[in-house]
Structure 1
Amino acid sequence: MAKFVFNMPDIGEGIAEAEIVQWHKKVGDTVKEDEEFVDMMTDKATVPMESPVDGKILEIAGEEGDMVSIGSMLVVIEVEGEVPEDVAEEAPAPAPAPAPAPKAAEVEERIEVETSDASDADDALAADPKPEPLPAPTPAPELKQQAKVLATPAVRKRAKELGVDLSQVKPSEESRIRHGDLDQFLSYNSGYGAAAKTREDVEKKVIGMRRRIAENMAASKRNIPHFSYVEECDVTDLEVLRAQLNASRGDKPKLTILPLLITAICKTLPDYPMINARYDDEAGVVTRHGAVNMGMAAQTDAGLMVPVIKNAQAKNLWQLANEISRLADAARNGTAKKEEMEGGTLTVTSLGPLGGVATTPVINRPEVAIIGPNRIIERPMYVTGSDGVERIEKRKLMNISISCDHRVVDGWDAASFIQALKKLLETPALILVD
């Protein structure tokens, strides 16, 4: 028997440490050659580690969420006989007198999850005061659902845990049941099934992608003096144009408003180069980019990710629609490549139908601006016709938000940029003119 020490290799460019995201093996388990035994995360990507030998795991470097220095021990494997010479030669050598792997947070963070906005299926409910014992409710007769109940997996899981029949919950909008609808049902049915039981607080360690997001957002707010500007745009004609394009699209992808918005942004940016820029605050250098590498914030099960549409200014509406769909899918299923997740010069973030009246998005550092389209709503407005007569019409309105780095972008420049963008959105024929 011999012991093989697998040291943490250098899996990134100039990184000093990596985070343990998930162990696939534990102490005492056997591992085969080329079998993945742990996932490690750097600032750029998550990389699976493969064993170069067959054997039994004797020791591991730490728990999920711990940081491991490059060159320090990651795992110790017991092998039959001697360690093969080729494996011993290829094994990463330990760094001289490596310091113990630092922990990103010595104090465990407590997460208090709001029941009205739980998005992860394993999020827990905040504790309620213990209620007075209630008599066991009379079991309700089983109801045959006349139509399929629409709800997210998180809502379904929560309803199941609470013993709530979703067919008895009335949705507040459209036909999809949300957490708020479930809360309202429980408030009027406090003795319903398992809903009357006491719910406990749950502590959840912040690791992996969630910790990266937390660190990046904290660094952005700490280092960047944000300011936001919001303007209202009449997108009635833009929506008419979008419907016409979709009606004749053939086998092309269906257009959302996002490709049209990105095209309009790319046409506006040449006159406002300070918006499409990155700021290296350590070197004191602002780089105004010619190409528009458009970051696209996408919500995934692991958290918010920002894949990048490279050279967005050179793509037509259909190419943008393809890239938006492809990159969003890649981010959600974890197949996005490293180069597809970096190099952005400006980011667009949208909550889609969940978008509110206005947002104040956080800048994706080291970029200097981020643009957020908000929800489209219909509202009566005074409109002057070609005959000069003013009348009331139903119009589709959407607010556009922008947050900027005030060290690089002045308020006047941000407002002027949005006003120029508004002109394109309200006169959509100009978007298609070269």
Structure 2
Amino acid sequence: MKKVGIGLLGLGTVGKGVANIINNPNDRHPLVGELELVGVAVRNLQKKRDIIIPDSILTTNPIEIVTNPNIQIIVEVMGGIEPAKSLIIQAIRAGKSVVTANKAVIARHGEEISNEAKAAGVYVLIEAAVGGGIPIIEPVKQSLGGNQITKVSGIINGTTNYILSRMDKEGVDYADVLKDAQELGYAESDPAADVEGSDAADKIAILSGLAFGGSINRSNIPTTGINHLEAVDVNYARKLGYGIKLLAISEKDKSPSKTEGSQPLSIWVEPTLVPEDNPLAGVNGVNNAILVEGNPIGQVMFFGPGAGSGPTASAVVADILNIAGIQSMSEDNIFNLDPLLSAMSWRNCHVAEKKQITKKNYIRLIANDSPGVIGEIGTIFGKKKISIESIVQFDVTDEEAEIVVITHKIQQGQLEEALLEIKNLSQVKRIAATMGCL
């Protein structure tokens, strides 16, 4: 059988992992042995690398890779928006299928890229863009395709999960754990994409589009990270029987759609209190877990390592094999697109406004320790038709107390109105924290 030529854009952590698998096919699926690394684009030819790659296939010009007639599949693992997006489109227009781990590009430009691939009759596969080594993209597209998906939620950023796990188990402050995470290589020197929630928002945008069948406007997803989370809230959550996880959640909005013919979706990323008996509560360290709920499947959870060279490279090569298997069975690499593998959209979707999102909430207030303050807070919630699950007073001093409220499910517009009035109470010094609660 003719070898399938692979062109690699990027030779960083993931790129090296992919090259290692292709160059060492023993004891793997036989199709791995039919892959050939034909060209690799790198930034610096002189850089010392802990991987053996022939100098003859290295280049600093990625255009040489995407236009090479001996390459059938382009693997983009360089990261960033540009030039990655432009190179993906150029490769598609050159008649090459693409495998990418680039969640930022797919979350923002997935519809454009999908349309280009459809017009060119090639595949763009993205298993490695979400969940590292966890098989989640193809199961949502194929294995669960017969279900009416109602909700996708989970822990999809390993860096923040590592930080939150240690804050919970060891009682250490956010800044100290972040420093450790950077030293261990779990967090970048600039951790903003992880700790501010952007990475998780990219991933839930991708999953939402696949699960609910339509393109998602990434910029409309309300996103709150863990960078302002205080250890006191982790402590209070534990006392109340919860852990805190950065969750990405996407579910069908039951409210009437304001956009005719479009499926409204409530999608958000936020630190969230998770009950101790919830399956997500036991997901610690850099692991990820994704819950998919639907009819008739019920609830299924996908768990595993969410990042790193090995897990992500595993997902990349799985996509390569999916494409290579089809191409190797066809004459002259001409094939009809498998609609499940290519996962074309079938409906319009839109992200509901933040104030329409319905969920439980955790609120921590700093107030004067004076008679009647809890009653006044309760009165305002009642006036806004907000049902309270619990209200607890913590750490009372001579001058002030910390009051923690957990609401039942309410629309966030109601909560915003109530908190505005509560903030104006003379006894309330400030609203210290708000976050979601399962």
Please say which structure displays the higher CA radius of gyration: 1
Higher relative contact order (CA 8 A, sep 6+): 2
**More helix per residue: 1 or 2?**
2
For normalisation by structure 1, the TM-score amounts to 0.28
